[in-house]
Amino acid sequence: MSYFEAQASGLPVILEENEINFERASNKKGILFSEGSIKEFRDAIIKFGNMPKEEFSIYKNNAVKNIVDNFNFVDIAQKFTDIMLEQYAKFKNKKQN
């Protein structure tokens, strides 16, 4: 499951620490672990497993909100569709003239 699919499903993520993932995990959307650290990765899994339901819900809600606010594929698909229809109309008009 990709980062986007996980967060869209309401799953907080466990990510290797780097510049891109720092933003992805910020604001209680996920947990970072140091590159190559199996211990930190395992600890992050355990942390989510032992996390109180209320706190886990915060991570879950923040994950979904991140995707909806920043990666809404419905909006992106609509923009793509609009461009395609516009170009098709131009092509059709050109062909008729």
**What pLDDT score does 74 carry?**
81
Largest CA distance in the chain: 69
Structural contact between residues 14 and 44, judged by C-beta atoms closer than 8 angstroms:
yes
Give per-residue pLDDT as tens, 6-31: 999 999 899 999 999 999 999 999 99
Distance between CA atoms of residues 17 and 82, nearest Å: 38
**Over 80: is that where the pLDDT of 97 sits?**
no
- Report, as an integer, the average pLDDT of 77-83: 91
Answer with the residue of higher pLDDT: 92 or 59: 59
Give per-residue pLDDT as tens, 25-79: 999 999 999 999 999 999 999 999 999 999 999 999 999 999 988 887 787 888 9
Distance between CA atoms of residues 60 and 55, nearest Å: 9
Distance between CA atoms of residues 33 and 55, nearest Å: 19
